[in-house]
Amino acid sequence: MVSNATPLPQPAQAALTRFPIVFADGVNYSGPLGAAWAPGRVNLIGEHTDYNDGYVLPIAVDRVAAFAGRARNDGIIRLWSAQFQAMAQFSLEGLPTTFEQQREGLPGWARYVLGVVSELSGKGIPLSGFDAVIGGDVPLGGGMSSSAALEVATAYACALFSVDHFTIGAEGATLTPMQVAAVCQYAEQIASGVQCGILDQAASCLGQPEKAVLLDCRSLDYRYLPFHAPGLSLMVIDTGVRRELAASAYNERRKQCEEATSMLREIILQHEPNNDTAGAISALRDISQGQFERYGGELLAVLRKRAGYVIAEDARVLETVKLLEANAFEEIGALLWQTHAGLRDEYEVSSVELDALVEIARQVQGVLGARMMGGGFGGCTINLLRDSAVEPLRLAVEDQYPAQTGRQATIDICRAAGGPGFVRAR
């Protein structure tokens, strides 16, 4: 076996076992059986900052999307989704030109795979066809970026099945992990229509056990911070609400941030004609809190709220970095409550269900902080809490959430885990 030394996650093992059962029709394979996987993520702090060229602080979690399969002699890709119990098929021929047309015939989950394959083909990387079983234990649509995990796992599967033409690694490889993240970000955009930033895909590509990643979404520089918190847990609570209107609201927020940026640039230039750097303002990242306090009042109310949230959130991420280095988890918790308030009142991407979960958590002793996580309107909350508060929070959610919302929540404890991996029979 050849592997990059990560222990084999259970969904990869399960997919390897399923492969010969699902694909038993005697195709002539050109390579051995192999598996590739990539993790989902939580985001400690830094929400809706990625597409504003700001900072994020995600953690890859111990949940993965996994492929197990074999390279084919032709340009066909056949996929069996263990989660959806469904088959999908497309062709490498003509990609990326045939993307739109092939996308139409595919179920949602397979569109992400097609998106990645199409983006890789567009870069001129010669890919092999393959058959694969796809499995995973990232809750689907539950706010831990199951789609990013699937995209990144797709890229690693393509490298595994096209081993002579395509490698992922440090310098000298076809693509670095960060370049894979960018490919997968575009794949998500074309597959889903959401003009997402790079947070989810980068978090999946860069994961390391017991580490959070501080990513500068402008330069794409990153550094690891210890996320080793004895006696503390990270709990993800899924509202059970899927984000139907989220794509248009997300794209609208992104546009509002761009509008706020160009208006603030004009306002600052008017007030400070000798300010040499103002002309180069190209994202909310470039506006200081002081400038926002001075000039934010000149923006339309809605733009002022959006920009105010993003500028404060970037500052909270950098503050969290200092606090993490000092193991000051109580203070980090306080920032999480603040982020939730900003997402609810200024960015306006929360929901009744997300607010209910955060308020339930606030009443439980030993919860240091909680907030909605991800794009918003549904999905999940992230809760930083003492181990002793895990059971009390679970009970409080079971007791109060259905009564308040008419829904059931799902609770998960996550650990900071490694990034993508693969294993291949020689």
CB of 225 to ligand GLA, least distance (A): 18
CB of 371 to ligand GLA, least distance (A): 11
Q: Which residues pair with 373 in a beta bridge?
A: 380
Tally of CB atoms within 10 A around 395: 11
Helix, strand and coil content of the chain, in percent to the nearest 5, comes to 45, 25, 35
CB-wise, 340 or 386, nearer to ligand GLA?
340
CB-wise, 176 or 192, nearer to ligand GLA?
192
Cα torsion 313, 315, 318, 319 to 10°: value is -100
CB of 181 to ligand GLA, least distance (A): 11
CB of 305 to ligand GLA, least distance (A): 16
Specify the length of the chain in residues.
426
Would you say the C-alpha torsion 25, 28, 34, 37 has a positive or negative sign?
negative
CB-wise, 129 or 142, nearer to ligand GLA?
142
The phi and psi torsions of 101 (rounded to 5 degrees) equal -70, -40
Question: What value, to the nearest 5°, has the Cα angle with vertex 250 and ends 357 and 233?
Answer: 35
d(CA 213, CA 216): 10
N-terminal to C-terminal alpha carbon distance within the chain: 5
Q: Which member of 53, 131, 137, 200 is catalytic?
A: 200
Pair 376, 339: CB distance under 8 Å? no
9 prior amide bond cis, ω within 30: no
Three-state SS letters, 384-425: EEEHHHHHHHHHHHHHHHHHHHCCCCEEEEECECCCCEEEEC
CB-wise, 181 or 393, nearer to ligand GLA?
181
Pair 298, 332: CB distance under 8 Å? no
Q: Which residues bind ligand GLA (CB under 6 A)?
A: 47-48, 50-51, 196-197, 199-200, 374-375
Pair 347, 305: CB distance under 8 Å? yes
CB-wise, 206 or 268, nearer to ligand GLA?
206
CB-wise, 197 or 378, nearer to ligand GLA?
197
CB-wise, 196 or 323, nearer to ligand GLA?
196
CB of 355 to ligand GLA, least distance (A): 17
d(CA 318, CA 307): 17
Q: Which residues pair with 381 in a beta bridge?
A: 237, 372
CB of 299 to ligand GLA, least distance (A): 21
CB-wise, 135 or 197, nearer to ligand GLA?
197
CB of 376 to ligand GLA, least distance (A): 7
d(CA 360, CA 363): 6
Answer yes or no: 131 catalytic. Answer: no
Pair 146, 188: CB distance under 8 Å? no
Q: Which long-range contacts (CB under 8 A, 24 or more apart) does 164-171 make?
A: 165/125, 165/126, 165/127, 165/128, 166/120, 166/125, 166/126, 166/127, 168/420
* Residues designated catalytic: 200
